[in-house]
Structure 1
Amino acid sequence: MRLPADDPRHVAVQADLRHWLEQAVIGLNLCPFAKGVHVKGQIHWVVSDARDGDALREDLRAELLALAESDPEQRDTTVLAAPWCLADFLDFNDFLDEADAVLEALELDGTLQIANFHPHYQFAGTVDDDVSNNSNRAPYPVLHLLRESSIDRAVAAYPEAEMIYERNIEALERLGAAGWAALNIRRSVGE
């Protein structure tokens, strides 16, 4: 069953993700490239109704093709949320190999790439409640589809882009768990 884009559940998921983007990603400057595309309205938001990896793979395929064929001035990036699928982080992490295989099968590797976020994201060597994990946590499992050309331009314009990860960890550690909680990153639609 495909829900209409204006279904209240889709609207709630998108609102949660926009809040996360504005408060955490942009607000904490976790991604210095996010603000420009957000302000210009170049982010395409998609909520998948997938209940399993097969259905999500099909939605991913469709969104990769749509992004590749779209005008970057209108749609520079796509955020594909999967609120009813891959709630377990390890299952989601395993799915990322399948996502990359879809990208390669479409011959879009080198043109597009897939970043990922998950509510239970955990870096190797950390404990679950380590505040640094929040740099890759979103309210829902997310596949973020990006244009390589946009990344290249952004990295060229941003000094020491390779240091973003370290700066994010430092910022999150200064913020602490209480500060993160105060951002009220929420999930309105169930797992």
Structure 2
Amino acid sequence: MVTSCFYVVQPNFQQHTDTATPSFHLPLNPINRRYFNVRTAIVIQQTRTWLKTVVIDHTICPFAKREYDRNSIRYCVSDTIDTAECLTSLIEACQHLDTDPDYETTLVILAEGFKDFDDFLTLIDIAEKLLIKQGYEGIYQLASFHPDYSFANAPRNDPANYTNRSPYPMLHILREASIEAILKNHPNPENIPERNIAYTRQLGISAVQKLLADCFKPDAS
């Protein structure tokens, strides 16, 4: 069960308790529509490859495999470069999770926009404030990934940065109740970041760079 979403939208935020949902319009001619359908499928496949070959196979997130195998991850691809449109996509994704328990989590994949990491950090700051404003505090938690992700005070070529580097900028929406339940049953969850830092540094910069680059290979799976 893979859901892909292509958004060309006007900002239309609703409180998540409201039954109204934003309207989404696709002003595409048939040729452009076919292009975006193909492009969306490629972006989702590259993202799934990253999840499998990097995040899961190298145990960067020990909780990802269950949801990947259950097909409970929703993939939404947006080509917007506009902050307001991106935020609309984020809220729509939250509203979908409100009403669809089959999906445990959602990845909003920004296929074209926010390639500059500083711009992406600004987006994350605004997005987190918007979730609170929309009444989602304590309901959803936002994580983030980016091709140029760098931790504060870390050199840009530190392999540890690759624990949060991804093929595209991504907003990851997680159900907070699910996170709390999982962490209760996981021994020493606070050690996961330290383990990942040590592990990626042991792999070395060339190896982690190759892992990410291989996600773009046509035959990657």
Q: Report the TM-score, using the length of structure 1 for normalisation.
A: 0.92
**2:56 matched to 1:26?**
yes
**2:51 matched to 1:16?**
no
Aligned to 2:5: none
1:14-163 equivalences under 5 Å are 14-71=44-101, 74-163=102-191
**2:194 matched to 1:166?**
yes
* Runs of 4+ with deviation above 2 angstroms: 1-6, 181-188
Alignment RMSD: 1.7
Query: What is the deviation of 1:178?
Result: 2.4
Q: Report the TM-score, using the length of structure 2 for normalisation.
A: 0.80
Q: Match for 2:42: what amino acid?
A: A
Q: Unmatched 5+ residue regions in structure 2?
A: 1-7, 9-25
3-state DSSP of counterpart to 2:204: helix
Q: Match for 1:98: what amino acid?
A: I
The 2-side partners of 1:98 and 1:85 are apart by 15
Aligned to 1:177: 205
Query: What is the deviation of 1:187?
Result: 4.7
The 2-side partners of 1:20 and 1:160 are apart by 25
Q: Unmatched 5+ residue regions in structure 1?
A: none
The 1-side partners of 2:74 and 2:50 are apart by 15
Q: Match for 1:39: what amino acid?
A: D
Query: What is the deviation of 1:173?
Result: 0.9
Q: Match for 1:144: what amino acid?
A: H
Q: 1:102 to 1:25 in 2, by over 3 A?
A: same
3-state DSSP of counterpart to 1:7: helix
3-state DSSP of counterpart to 2:171: strand
3-state DSSP of counterpart to 1:59: helix
Query: What is the deviation of 1:161?
Result: 0.2
Q: Match for 1:157: what amino acid?
A: N
Of structures 1 and 2, the one scoring higher in RCO (CA 8 A, sep 6+) is 1
3-state DSSP of counterpart to 2:141: strand
The 1-side partners of 2:133 and 2:200 are apart by 37
Identity among equivalent positions (%) equals: 33
